[in-house]
């Protein structure tokens, strides 16, 4: 049936550019009142920090070597969609002009995008569906763990390897480097070892680090390493992924680098 669009026709004034929008809508003017907000920087063309989302040449060769049993663990942990996104990551094209435009509309205090007539945000349910993550059931009290000591990255990575040379190459400062972990996976797969769970845990660190928690160039923080490690224990991480994206948008909106799941934002 041919659909008529006349019912949707409204008296919408023609769009006359961002400057006119800034001057015309009181909703958008509130962004100008936030100190340091990039909304007031008309000269800004692109967000700082975008180079951390460049192509990852080691990703696909490493994933193609994964044994079926390790891939089965990733699926069991709810990372099927993340695995597919990682395998196709180098084919994805991020439209940074659009990401910059969205960051310009981000309100750091309300965690929402301020449009001329309304506000909107990214919901947890939406993010879980789009990324295929295990869904948090409202009404169920999640298990909360409190950490009083500094996160020991070596104790987490010890499930993968106990060789000190490997651990030294995988960590520095407060970050874990993904390339040495990918190289360890490649070595294990080529030797046809049967450490399927360890390989899956290492692969989860790599794909989640690139797709869900991109922060530094080829590295993730100790805190995010701990979050990724909890996936294999049945923990739901959608809230953390969303909070990390919110924080990255706030950083970008206030003139800092953008970080977080740009794939989720574009979806």
E strand or H helix at 80: helix 80-87
Residue pair 266/95 in contact by the 8 Å Cβ criterion: yes
Sheet holding 112-114, edge to edge: 106-107, 112-114, 119-120
Residue 214 confidence class, pLDDT cut points 50, 70, 90 = confident
pLDDT interval class at 43 (50, 70, 90)? low
Alpha-carbon span 35 to 51, nearest angstrom:
26
**Average pLDDT over the chain, rounded to whole?**
81
Other Cβ atoms closer than 10 A to 240: 18
pLDDT at 212: 93
Q: What integer pLDDT is reported at residue 155 of this predicted model?
A: 78
- Rounded CA-CA distance 137/149 in Å is 30
**Cα(21)–Cα(44) distance, integer angstroms:** 17
Residue 241, both tokens: 């992924």
Using N-to-C axis directions, what is the helix angle for 196-211 and 68-76, rounded to 10°?
Answer: 60
The whole-model pTM stands at 0.80
CB 215 within 8 A of CB 259: yes
What is the per-residue pLDDT for 185? 94
Q: Which residue has the higher pLDDT, 266 or 140?
A: 266
Kindly state the tokens that stand for 147.
């950490």
* Parallel/antiparallel/unpaired status of strands 175-177 and 106-107: unpaired
Q: Which residue has the tokens 């349910």?
A: 125
More confidently predicted of 241 and 163: 241
Q: Tell me which of 230 and 64 has the higher pLDDT.
A: 64
Contact 79, 230 (CB under 8 A): no
Q: Is 220 helix (H, G, I), strand (E, B) or coil?
A: strand
Pick 151 or 76 by higher pLDDT. Answer: 76
Q: What is the mean pLDDT of residues 209-224?
A: 86
Local confidence band at 7 (pLDDT 50, 70, 90 cut-offs): very low
Predicted pLDDT at 20: 55
103 has a pLDDT exceeding 80: yes
Amino acid 266: pLDDT: 87
Could you read off the pLDDT of 187-210 as tens digits, one per residue? 999 999 998 999 999 999 999 999
Tell me which of 248 and 139 has the higher pLDDT: 248
Q: Cα 59 vs. chain centroid, distance in angstroms?
A: 16
**List of residues 6+ apart from 251 with CB closer than 8 A:** 257, 258, 259
CA separation for the pair 157, 176 (Å, rounded): 10
Q: What average pLDDT does this structure show over 253-260?
A: 88
pLDDT greater than 90 at residue 71: yes
Helix, strand, coil tally for the chain in percent (to 5): 55, 5, 40
- Please write the tens of the pLDDT for every residue from 153-174: 667 887 888 888 888 888 887 8
Give the whole-number percent of the chain exceeding pLDDT 90: 34
Q: Which of 6-20, 38-52, 89-103, 111-125 has the lowest mean pLDDT?
A: 6-20
Is residue 201 within 8 A of residue 160, CB to CB? The reply is yes
Task: Indicate if the alpha-carbon torsion angle 62, 93, 109, 252 is positive or negative.
Answer: positive
Q: Which DSSP state fits 59?
A: H
CB-based contacts of 201: which residues, under 8 Å, 6+ apart? 73, 159, 160, 229, 232
Say whether pLDDT at 135 is over 60. yes
Distance CA 79, CA 86 (A): 10
Average pLDDT over residues 17-22: 54
């Amino acid at each position: 049936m041919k659909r008529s669009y006349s019912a949707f026709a409204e008296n919408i004034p023609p769009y006359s550019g961002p400057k006119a929008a800034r001057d015309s809508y009181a909703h958008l003017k509130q962004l100008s009142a936030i100190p340091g907000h990039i909304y007031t920087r008309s000269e800004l063309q692109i967000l700082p920090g975008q180079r951390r989302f460049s192509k990852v040449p080691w990703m696909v060769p490493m994933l193609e070597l994964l044994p079926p049993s390790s891939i089965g663990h990733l699926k069991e942990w709810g990372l099927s969609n993340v695995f597919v996104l990682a395998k196709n990551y180098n084919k994805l094209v991020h439209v940074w002009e659009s990401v910059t435009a969205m960051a310009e509309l981000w309100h750091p205090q309300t965690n929402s995008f301020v449009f001329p007539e309304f506000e909107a945000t990214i919901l947890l349910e939406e993010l879980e569906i789009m990324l295929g993550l295990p869904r948090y059931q409202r009404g169920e009290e999640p298990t909360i763990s409190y950490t009083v000591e500094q996160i020991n990255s070596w104790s987490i990575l010890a499930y993968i390897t106990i060789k000190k040379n490997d651990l030294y190459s995988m960590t520095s400062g407060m970050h874990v480097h993904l390339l040495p972990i990918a190289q360890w996976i490649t070595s294990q797969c080529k030797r046809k070892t049967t450490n399927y769970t360890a390989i899956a845990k290492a692969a989860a660190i790599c794909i989640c680090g690139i797709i869900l928690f991109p922060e530094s160039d080829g590295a993730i923080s100790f805190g995010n390493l701990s979050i990724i490690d909890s996936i294999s224990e049945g923990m739901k991480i959608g809230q953390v992924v969303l909070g990390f994206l919110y924080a990255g948008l706030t950083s970008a909106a206030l003139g800092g680098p953008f970080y977080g799941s740009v794939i989720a934002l574009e979806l």
